[in-house]
Structure 1
Amino acid sequence: MSDVEEQVQVEEEVVVEESSSVSIEDCLQKVLRTSLVHDGLARGLREAIKALARGEAELCVLCDSVTEAKIISLVEALCNEPEEKIPLIKVSDAKQLGEWAGLCALDREGNARKVVGASCVVIKNWGADSEERNVLLEYFSQQ
C-alpha cells in the first residue's frame, strides 16, 4: 500500500509543474475555443461593441495592431465603465486572434487555412468551468 501512496504523490507534483508552465496565451486560446463551442463569443468589432454596451461581456480580447486609434479607445472605454469593469487583454496579431476565435477554415489535417483577422473578440459565455478559465481570472485579479 505504501507504493500506491507514493505514486499518488508523484502524480500530484507533476500536475503542479504543468500548471505553472502554462502561459496566459495558451489559457486564452483554450478558453476562446471552449466559449466558441458553447456559442458564447462575439467576434468582430460590431458584435463585440454590442455585447459590451449591453453588459453581456465577461472578457474582452483586443488586437493591438488595429489601425484606428478610435477603435482602441472606444473598446477600452466600454471595458472601463464604472458600473461594470470588464477584464481586457491585448494580443499582438489579428490573424492569430481570428484563428483562436474560429474565423478560419480547417483542412483535413486540422491546420487553419484562410484565416480572417479579428480586431476584437468578447466572451459572453465561458462555456464550461476549466482550469484555464481559473488561471485567467486569477491573472486579472492580481492586476
Structure 2
Amino acid sequence: MSDTEYVEEVIVDEEIDVTVAGGELDVEDCLKTVFQNALAVDGLARGLREASKALSSGLGELCVLCDACTEPEYIKLVEALCNQEDVKHVDIVRVSDAKKLGEWAGLCVLDREGNARKVVGCSCVVITNWGADSTERETLLSLFSE
C-alpha cells in the first residue's frame, strides 16, 4: 500500500446525523441495526482472522475498524486488505470503543432484561451478508457514495 492511496472512511465520533422520513439517524444507530440484520443470517466476520479471510476472498461488503487498537500493524493490514486492487474495494467505518463494537457484533451475553453482560472487545468486524434490506443500510451506503 503506497502512501498516496486514498482510504475512504467514515469516523463515527463526529456524530453524523442523516435525516430520513421517520426522523434522524446517526451512524451508530445504523451500524447497530445493520449488525443485527447481518448477525441473523450469519453475515459477520468478527476478529482479525475471520475479517482477513473475508476481505482476502472478496466477500467483504463493509469493514468496521476500532481506533482503540494498539497495534499499528493490525490497522495497516486491515486497510491494505480493504484496498486490494484484484478484489473489490471495501469501505471502512471507524468507531472509538472496542467494547461497544463487540456488543454490536454479538460478542456478549445478554441477561434476562436484555442488557449486555461479559462484553468482549472487538477490533474489526466485516459485513459479508447484509441480511434484510433496511433504511439504515441505505443510509450507510449513501455516506460512501457522496
Q: Is TM-score (shorter-chain normalized) higher than 0.5? A: yes
User: 1:81 — aligned with what?
Assistant: 84
Q: Hey, what does 2:95 align to over in structure 1? A: 91
1:54-80, Cα deviation, whole Å (9 max, x unpaired): 001001000001110000011001111
Taking only the aligned residue pairs, the percentage that are identical comes to 63
1:16 lines up with 2:21 in the alignment: yes
Alignment partners' CA distance in 2, 1:110 and 1:65: 26
Structure 2 stretches of 5 or more lacking a match?
1-19
Aligned structure 1 segments of 4 or more residues deviating by more than 2 angstroms:
none
Counterpart in the other structure of 1:141: 145
How many residues are paired up? 126
Matched residue of 1:60: which SS?
Answer: strand
> What amino acid is aligned across from residue 131 of structure 2 in structure 1?
G
For residues 29-108 of structure 1, the aligned pairs below 5 Å read 29-83=32-86, 84-108=88-112
User: Which residue in 2 is equivalent to 1:119?
Assistant: 123
Structure 1 unaligned spans of 5+: 1-14
Point out the structure with the larger helix share: 1
Residue 25 of structure 1, CA deviation: 1.2
Query: What TM-score comes out, normalization by structure 1 length?
Result: 0.85
Deviations 1:11-64 (A, max 9, x none): xxxx6251xx11011101110111001110001111000100100100100000
The CA RMSD measured in Å over matched residues stands at 1.0
TM, length-normalised to structure 2? 0.84
